[in-house]
């Protein structure tokens, strides 16, 4: 009888662990999980881009963003500045931005226009299927993920502690990269992303 009860308890615990959210805020991924792979996403440069293209970069910063969200727009200069700081041609970090919204303002032609207007210094990719955002459990624009040399999630969440650039006190993304570049695990691996909700397609699957 006791063995039967113990077995039922074990099954219950396994069931709870199966439905528990992966991270504190992200429902799909947590720190240490293998980073989902993306392949052949069109960029504003007219080329197709895959995670495998970045095999020579120990660290990859993946940013979910868009043209239409005012908060994402407010972060454009911060992302450009971050890229200048960490992702030089011979540096160890690659920055990649992806847009998955499918409204006209966010489709590839408008992305090309916005990239030229702002002088983006990072690849800006479009995934009309929205699969990459679902794979990463992304919900907001902007939302950030850091992939380590083993292509596991090292950090996920917000870039900093406030959407108002002048009031930023804690730069979560910078702190995570600084730690990783020193060979140290980031003190804070996950934060709550802020921004506009991703515009999920209502098309039948």
| Collapsed DSSP state (helix, strand, coil) of residue 55 | coil
d(CA 155, CA 192): 11
Whole-model pTM? 0.88
Percent of the chain topping pLDDT 90: 84
At 195 the pLDDT is 96
Residues 54-65 have pLDDT tens digits of 999 999 999 999
22-197: which CATH topology?
Glutaredoxin (3.40.30)
Q: What band does 82 get if pLDDT is binned at 50, 70 and 90?
A: very high
104 secondary structure, DSSP code: G
Q: What band does 6 get if pLDDT is binned at 50, 70 and 90?
A: very low
Residue ranges per structural domain of the chain: 22-197
Neighbours of 66 (CB within 10 A): 26
At 10 the pLDDT is 32
Q: Residue 196: enclosing H or E segment and its boundaries?
A: strand 196-197
Dig out the tokens for 153 from the structure.
């999630």
Count the alpha carbons within 13 Å of 201 in the hemisphere toward its beta carbon: 18
SS3 content of the chain, % helix, strand, coil (to 5): 35, 20, 45
Q: What band does 203 get if pLDDT is binned at 50, 70 and 90?
A: low
Q: What band does 90 get if pLDDT is binned at 50, 70 and 90?
A: confident
pLDDT exceeds cutoff 90 at 9: no
Signed CA dihedral, 37, 115, 72, 74: sign only: positive
């Amino acid at each position: 009888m006791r063995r039967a009860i113990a077995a039922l308890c074990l099954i219950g615990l396994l069931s709870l662990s199966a439905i528990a959210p992966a991270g504190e805020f992200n429902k799909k991924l947590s720190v240490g999980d293998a980073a989902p792979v993306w392949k052949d996403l069109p960029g504003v440069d007219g080329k197709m881009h895959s995670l495998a293209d970045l095999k020579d970069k120990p660290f990859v910063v993946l940013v979910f963003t868009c043209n239409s969200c005012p908060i994402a727009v407010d972060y454009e200069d911060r992302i450009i500045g971050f890229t200048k700081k960490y992702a030089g041609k011979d540096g160890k970090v690659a920055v990649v931005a992806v847009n998955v919204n499918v409204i006209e303002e966010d489709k590839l032609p408008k992305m090309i226009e916005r990239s030229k207007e702002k002088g983006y210094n990072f690849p800006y990719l479009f995934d009309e299927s929205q699969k990459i955002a679902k794979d990463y459990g992304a919900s907001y624009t902007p939302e950030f993920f850091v992939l380590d040399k083993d292509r596991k999630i090292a950090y996920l969440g917000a870039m900093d502690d406030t959407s108002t650039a002048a009031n930023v006190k804690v730069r979560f993304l910078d702190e995570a990269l600084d730690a990783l570049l020193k060979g140290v695990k980031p003190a804070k691996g996950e934060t709550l992303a802020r921004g506009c909700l991703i515009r999920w397609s209502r098309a039948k699957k």
